[in-house]
Amino acid sequence: MRRTAGVYIHIPFCARKCGYCDFNAYSGYKEATKTRYVEALCREIESRAEPQTRVPTIFFGGGTPTELAASDLVRILQTVKATFCVDADAEITTEANPGDADPGYLADLRAGGGFNRLSFGVQTFDDRLLRSLDRLHSGNDARAAVQAAKAAGFANISLDLMFALPRQTMADWDRSLDTAFALDVPHLSMYALIIEEGTPFFARRERGRLPLTSEKTEAAMFARAMQRAVEAGYERYEVSNYARPGFQSRHNRIYWRNEEYFGFGAGAASYLGGARTMNERRPSRYIETVTTGGNLFVSEERLSPREAMGETMMMGLRMTEGVDLDAFARRFGVRAEETFAKEIARLSDGGFIEVAEGHLRLTERGLFVGSEVMLAFLP
C-alpha cells in the first residue's frame, strides 16, 4: 500500500540562540558549513527517496530556516519534490525570523519556490520583553514582516506568540494580542513559556535569578488568550493553536493524530512503520555521517502497541476535536473505551474528559490540567 507521510526539514542554524530555547539549534556556523549542510541534507533526502509515498505537507523548522539563502530553501524543497510524490496542493511551510523577512527574500520563496505558508517567530511585540528573550528582531520588524509576507502573496501566515514570560503583565499580554489580531493573519500559536532543563533560562531559575510567573497568572493569561482569540474569529483547535476556518496547520495535525512523517536534517525525528528514529544532532557530525554514508540514526525506538496507544491518546487529546475513537479502533484493533475504561470513567466523573461525536476529548476544565489527564493513558 502506498503510504502517506508528512515531511519535516530541520535547519539547525540561528543568528543567536535564545535563552529559553532547547531545540537543536546553533549559532556561529560559517557560511561554508551551511553550504555543506544543505548539500548533506539534499543527499539525505535522496538516499531515503520514496517516489511512491504521498506527501501532503512539508514543514521547514529550526533553528531558523531563514538563516539560509532563499535559493537554498528552494533547492531543498525541489529535492523533496523530486524524490517523493508531493501533492499538488501540498501545504508547504517555513518558519521565518521576522528580522529576515525582506520582500525580495519572501518573493523568492513564494513565487520562485512554491512555499505557501509562513510561520513567524514573533513571540511578543514588546521590545523590552523581546530583548529579555534574546530575540534580535523588534516589534516593528514583526509588523513589517507580516505586511511584506502578504505583499509577496502569502495568504496563509501564522504568528508564534508567548505568554507567562518573566516580567510580562496581563496588560503586556493584552497589547500583544491586540497587535496580533490587528495584523489579521489566519493562524496563531500561543505558547506558555516552558523553562526546559539545560537552557540558560533554566540555570537562571535554579539560581533564583529569573522572575517566575505564578501558576495563577499563567492560567489567567491562557484563559484570556482563548477568550479573546475566539472573539477575534479564531477557533482553538489544539492546546496552543488557533485558526480561522480552513487554516489549521495540516502538517502539525499529522503529529497530533500520531500519523507518519519523515524528518530530514540534523536531529530531525521520523515516525515510520511504528518506529521513532532520530538523526545525528550535531550539524558537523550530521554532515560527516551523510557524506560517509554511515548510519544517521542515533536513536531508534520501536513502539509496542501499548506505547503507541498511549502516544495516540497523549497527542490526540491535544486537539480540541480529541481522539477519533473509530480511527483508534481501526488502527489498534481494540477500542479505547475498553482498553482505558477505568481511566475514562474516573476522568469523566471528574469532569476532565468527555465522549462526544465519536471522539474522546478534553473538557475545558481538563484542558487546563491536560498533562495530568494525558499521563493517565501512558503505560
Partner 1 sequence: MPVPQDKIRNFCIIAHVDHGKSTLADRLLETTNTVEKRDMQEQLLDQMDIERERGITIKMAAVRMPYTADDGSVYELNLIDTPGHVDFTYEVSRSLNACEGALLVVDAAQGVEAQTLANANLAMNSNLEIIPVINKIDLPAADPDRVAEEIENVLAIDATEAIRASAKEGIGIKEILEAVVRKVPPPQGDPEKPLRALVFDSHYDAFLGVVAYIRIVDGSVKPGDQIRLIATGKTFTVDGVGVFTPRMKAVDALYTGETGYLHAAVKSVTDCRVGDTVTLAGRAGQSVEQLPGYKPAKPMVFCGLYPIDSNEFPDLREALSKMQLNDAALSYEAESSAALGFGFRCGFLGLLHMEIVQERLEREFNLSLLATAPSVVYKVHKTDGTVIDVDNPANMPAPTLIEHIEEPFVDATIIVPTDYVGAVMDMGRDRRGIFGRMEYPAPGRVMMHYELPLSEIIMDFFDQLKSRTKGYASFDYELSGYKTSSLVKLDIQINSETVDSLSFITHRDKSFQRGKALVEKLKELLPRQMFEIKLQAAIGGKIIAAERLSAMRKNVISKCYGGDITRKRKLLEKQKEGKKRMKQFGSVEIPQEAFMSVLKISE
Answer yes or no whether residue 378 interacts with partner 1 by CB under 8 A.
yes
The interface region with partner 1, picked from 74-82, 202-210, 335-343, 364-372 by CB under 8 A, is: 364-372
The interface region with partner 1, picked from 31-39, 64-72, 128-136, 303-311 by CB under 8 A, is: 303-311
The interface region with partner 1, picked from 41-49, 83-91, 112-120, 371-379 by CB under 8 A, is: 371-379
Answer yes or no whether residue 261 interacts with partner 1 by CB under 8 A.
yes
Question: 30-68: string of b/e by CB count within 10 Å (b at 16+)?
Answer: eeeebebbbebbbbbbeeeeeeebebbbbbbbbbbbbbb
CA distance 286 to 298: 10
Among 31, 89, 215, 338, binds partner 1 (CB under 8 A): 215
The binding track of 58-97 with respect to partner 1, each residue x by CB under 8 A or -, is ---x------------------------------------
Answer yes or no whether residue 275 interacts with partner 1 by CB under 8 A.
no
Going by C-beta distance under 8 Å and a sequence separation of 6 or more, which residues neighbour residue 265? Answer: 9, 10, 11, 12, 41, 44, 279, 286
CB 46 within 8 A of CB 227: no
Provide DSSP, 235-262: EEEETTEEE-TT-S-HHHHHHHTT--EE
The interface region with partner 1, picked from 26-34, 107-115, 147-155, 299-307 by CB under 8 A, is: 299-307
Q: What are the cell numbers at 359?
A: 471522539
The interface region with partner 1, picked from 39-47, 229-237, 287-295, 370-378 by CB under 8 A, is: 370-378
Kindly state the smallest distance separating residue 30's Cβ from partner 1, in Å: 25
Answer yes or no whether residue 194 interacts with partner 1 by CB under 8 A.
yes
Kindly state the smallest distance separating residue 272's Cβ from partner 1, in Å: 11
Question: 199-209: string of b/e by CB count within 10 Å (b at 16+)?
Answer: bebbebeeeee
Kindly state the smallest distance separating residue 23's Cβ from partner 1, in Å: 8
CA distance 197 to 213: 17
Answer yes or no whether residue 216 interacts with partner 1 by CB under 8 A.
yes
Answer yes or no whether residue 315 interacts with partner 1 by CB under 8 A.
yes
Give the CA distances from residue 73 to residues 10, 38, 249, 288, 379, in Å, rounded to whole numbers and listed in that order. 11, 9, 20, 21, 40
CA distance 31 to 331: 46
Relative orientation angle of helices 70-83 and 31-47, to the nearest 10 degrees: 10
Among 69, 203, 219, 226, binds partner 1 (CB under 8 A): 219
Which residues lie near partner 1 (CB under 8 A)? 6, 8, 10, 23-24, 61, 191-192, 194, 215-216, 218-219, 222, 239-240, 252, 254-255, 261, 263, 267-269, 271, 276, 278, 299, 301, 307, 310-311, 314-315, 318, 350, 352, 367-372, 374-376, 378-379
